[in-house]
Amino acid sequence: MFIDPHVHCRDGNQSYKETIKHALSVAYRVGMSAIANIGNGDPVVSNEEDLNFYLDKVEKANSPVDFFQWMGITSDPKQIEEAVRMWYEYPQVIGFKMFAGHSVGNLGIIERKKQRLVFEVLTKNDYKGVLMTHCEKEDYIEKEFDPKNPISHCRNRPAIAEITSASDILGDALESGYRGRIHIAHTSCPETVEMRHRHPLKDKISVGVGPQHILMDDQLMYGGQGIFRKKNPPLRNMNRVMSMEDLLIKDNIDIYESDHAPHARKEKENPPYLSGFPQLPIFPLFLKFLKSKLSDKQIKKLTFERTKEIFSPKLDKVKPRPDVSLDNLEELIKEVPALRKEYEYDAWEGVL
C-alpha cells in the first residue's frame, strides 16, 4: 500500500551498484505498490532510446510492483520539448528531474539563466506535469571532501545551499508563468518546507522527505560509518532534524521518498567518495517509527494517498496491495535483516 517516488535503480553501466530487477524485488518485499526511478544513471534517461532501454528491463523483470521513470532534464530546448512529448505518450514517464546543482551524474544545471530557461520552455510547451528538483545552489558548495573527516561533507554543502536554490527555483516558476507542479525532493531544511507554505504557488508545490533527514543528524558522520552516510543533501544538525520531525508530525511535509541510492563500497571508501546509500531495505523500520509519531491515517497519506494526488494522472491506476497493511507491519519487518545484507554496506547500522 506504499509508493516510493524517488529510487535510483541504476542498471545499465551501473548494474554493479543496483539493477531495476533487484530494486523492484526489494521494493516488493518491503510492501511497495509502485516505485519511480530517477534518470541520472548511465545511460542517463534523457531521450527516447534510453527510456526504452530501461523500460525493456522493467518488462523482463516481470515484477508486480508498478514502475515509473523520471526523465532527466537538461537546458537544451529541443531535449525539453522531446521530453514533454514522451510525458504525454508514455504512461510510465512520471515527470522530469532537474538538478539545480551538481550531485551524482552529469545532469547539473547550475547557471540561473539556464534554470530559468527550463521553466520558459516547459511553459511554452504547455507542460502541466511535475518537475522534481534537487535544490543545492552551486555558489555555496565547497568541492574538497576530507574522507578522514566525513562531517566535512555537511559543512561543504550547507543548509543555505538548499534554501537559496529552492527560492531561486520557485521564483523562476512564478516569473515564467509555469503551469505544472514543482516537487522539491529530499528536503533537509525546515526553512525550505516553510518557504513552500508561504509561496504564491503553494498549491502547486510539494515537498518530500527521506528517512535520513528525520532520523539521522550530522554527528553520525563521525566514526567508521560516517563515510557510508555521505549523501546529497547531507545530514543536518540536530536542531534541523528535530524541526523536520515536527513539521512531519504536523502534516506540513507532503510525501515520503527514500532516495534509495546505492553505490559500490569501493566508491564510498575511495575516490570519488560518492554520495548516496541504500534506503529501501529499512522502510518497514521507518514505518515503525512513523507509527510511534503519526496516526495510521497520516501514514497512509504520507506514503500513498498524497503521492498519488501529486503525481496524478500518472499514478491514478496504482492500487494498494491487499497483502500489505500497517496492521501486519511485523511481517515486513521480518524481511529487513536479510534485505540489508543484499548490499555491500549498511549506512543505517546502529541507527535502525
Residues 311 and 293 sit within 8 Å (Cβ to Cβ):
no
The per-residue pLDDT for 104 is: 62
Contact status, residue 46 vs residue 105, Cβ threshold 8 Å = no
For residue 5, which of 178, 257, 201 has the smallest C-alpha distance?
A: 257
Cα pseudo-dihedral 240, 260, 346, 25, rounded to 10 = 150
pLDDT of 26-44, one tens digit each?
Answer: 999 999 999 999 999 999 9
Confidence category of residue 1, pLDDT binned at 50, 70, 90: confident
Q: Which residue has the cell 499514478?
A: 315
pLDDT of residue 49: 98
For the domain covering 2-340, report its CATH number: 3.20.20.140
Phi, psi torsion values for 67, nearest 5 degrees: -120, 135
**Across residues 242-251, what is the average pLDDT?**
99
Q: What is the pLDDT of residues 164-174, one digit of tens each?
A: 999 999 999 99
For residue 103, what pLDDT is reported?
A: 65
The per-residue pLDDT for range 148-204, each reduced to its tens digit, is 999 999 999 999 999 999 999 999 999 999 999 999 999 999 999 999 999 999 999
* pLDDT tens track for 218-240: 999 999 999 999 999 999 999 99
**What is the SS3 assignment for 139?**
helix
pLDDT at 137: 96
Q: What does the pLDDT read at residue 164?
A: 98
Q: Is residue 50 within 8 Å of 334, Cβ to Cβ?
A: no
The pLDDT of residue 36 is 99
- Write the pLDDT tens digit of every residue in 114-123: 999 999 999 9
Q: Reply yes or no: is the peptide bond before residue 150 cis, omega within 30 of 0.
A: no
pLDDT number for residue 327 = 95
Mean of pLDDT over the chain: 97
Domain ranges of the chain: 2-340
CB < 8 Å & 24+ apart, contacts of 298-306: 298/251, 299/326, 300/1, 300/326, 301/251, 302/248, 302/253, 302/254, 302/255, 302/256, 303/1, 303/2, 303/3, 303/255, 303/256, 304/1, 304/2, 304/3, 304/33, 306/206, 306/254, 306/255
